[in-house]
Amino acid sequence: MAGKKAVGFIGTGVMGGSMAGHLLKAGYEVHVHTRTRSRADDLVAAGAVWEDDRVAVARKCEILITMVGYPSDVEEVYFGPRGIIENALPGAILVDMTTSRPDLAARIAAAAKAKGLGALDAPVSGGDIGAKNATLTIMVGGEIGDFEAAKPLFGHLGKTIVLQGGPGSGQHTKMANQIAIAASLLGAVESISYAKRAGLDPRRVLESIGSGSAGSWQLANLVPKMLDGNFEPGFYIKHFLKDLRIALESAAAMQLDLPGLRLAEGLFEILQAEGFADKGTQALWLLYERGLMPGKAR
C-alpha cells in the first residue's frame, strides 16, 4: 500500500471505536458512520470525519471497514441501491470485521468482484481489551492480493493476522474460535462453582489452577470479573449467542453434530431470556449462582 489511503469505518461500538482510533493515530484519514452518532463523538474530536450515512463513506474511501451487530445488519450495509458495494469507489477494498455467516461473506465477495472491488471477511478475537491494546487476532478470508493490500492496516489493529483461505474462511475460523471459547468459559465457570461449593476460596483456587494445564484466557480474565460481580460487557451475551447460532447452522450444513456447542447455546439462551442480553459473557456465572440452570427449581 503506497501511502496512507482514506479509510471508512462503519460501526464504532465497544470494539470498533478503539480500532478506528488506532487508525487515526497511525495517520490514516478516517471517515466514520454509526447509527448512534454520540458513539463517534470521541473519534470526531480526535480528528475523524463524520459522515451522515454509509453512502457518503463509501464514495470517499479506498478501504471500507464494517463492524456492525448481526448478519442482517451486514446485508443491509452491503447490498441494495444504498449499499456500499453499489456506491464504493472503483478498486476499493471492502473489509467486513463483523462476526457473521460464512455464506454471507462468500456472497459479498462475489458481488464485490463483479463490481471490480476487493472483499475480505476479517472477524477478530480479543474483545474490548484486545481492541484497546491493538492486540487483536484477525482471521481473514479472501484473495491474497486484497489481503496483502490491507495487511499494513491490520497491523495497527492486531498482532496475529492470518489469511485462512478464500472468501468465508475468516468467518469459519471465527466460528471455530467461538466454539472453543464456549467450551473454555463453561469449564471455567463450573470449575469455580465447584471450588466455592467445596468451601474453598475461589481466588486462591484460581492462583493454583490458573497457571497449570487448566489455564485459559477465560479463567485468567473473566473469572476475576465474575468474583468481583462485574458483568459489564467486554463482549455482549446477545452477540455471543448470535455467534453460537451461526456456528450451529454452519455445522449443520456440514452435517457435523457438536453437542457441547448445543449445550452452550441453550445456556446463553436462558441468560438472554432472563434479561442479561446486554451483559458480558462472564454473566454465565449467574446461572449457577442464582439457580437458573435448566430443570432446577427456583
Instruction: Give residues with Cβ within 8 angstroms of 62, minimum separation 6.
Output: 5, 6, 7, 89, 91, 92, 93
Shortest CA distance to 179 belongs to which of 229, 248, 132, 236? 248
Catalytic residue list contains 132: no
Report the alpha-carbon distance of residue 134 to residue 279 in Å, rounded: 23
Residue 56 C-alpha cell reads as: 457518503
Q: Cell numbers at residue 268, please?
A: 446463553
Close Cβ partners of 252 (under 8 Å, ≥ 6 residues apart): none
CB 126 within 8 A of CB 150: no
Q: Phi and psi at residue 9, in whole multiples of 5°?
A: -130, 115
The stretches of 122-168 forming alpha helices (DSSP H) are 127-133, 144-154
In order, the DSSP letters of 8-35 are EEE--STTHHHHHHHHHHTT--EEEE-S
**Active-site residue identified among 5, 113, 174, 225:** 174
> Is 98 buried (19+), middle (13-18) or exposed (0-12) by CB count in 10 A?
buried
User: Is residue 93 a contact partner of residue 63, using CB atoms and an 8 Å limit?
Assistant: yes
d(CA 25, CA 46): 9
Active-site residues, by number, are 174
